[in-house]
Amino acid sequence: MDLGNTAFIVCRLVLGAVSSFLAILLWSRTRDTAWILVIISAITAYVEIIYSILNLLGVIGENILPEDAALIISILLSCLPTVFIIAAFSVMASRKYRRR
């Protein structure tokens, strides 16, 4: 692995960890549905980062997961953060337009 890949992995891990840590801190302070969905999005994004790095390093491979299962997990983990963000925006939009 070259320096560029190492820097990429470290950057993703550090920024994802900081984002998840702050999201967990915020989770204990808020009970708003939209914010909780954003927090879950940040945490699932970090899970996707961890999974993709483990897959890149060969820790998770064909010997642990079947190829179809690995593909499904990769697709789900890459799409879930966006799904939670869409849900959060929908909750906020429904609140905003319901008042009118």
Q: Report residue 74 CA to chain centroid gap.
A: 12
Say whether pLDDT at 100 is over 80.
no
Number of folded domains in the chain? 1
Q: Is 58 or 8 the better-scoring residue by pLDDT?
A: 8
Say whether pLDDT at 57 is over 90.
no
Say whether pLDDT at 98 is over 80.
no
Say whether pLDDT at 45 is over 70.
yes
| pLDDT at residue number 47 | 96
Listed in sequence order, the residues at least 6 apart from 34 whose beta carbon sits closer than 8 Å to its beta carbon are 88, 89, 91, 92, 95
Say whether pLDDT at 66 is over 90.
no
Domain residues for 84?
3-98
Q: Is 38 or 66 the better-scoring residue by pLDDT?
A: 38
| pLDDT at residue number 99 | 64
pTM of the model: 0.85
| pLDDT at residue number 62 | 67
Ordered alpha helix ranges (H), 58-98: 67-98
User: DSSP assignment of 15-68, as one string?
Assistant: HHHHHHHHHHHHHTT---HHHHHHHHHHHHHHHHHHHHHHHHHTSSSTTTS-HH
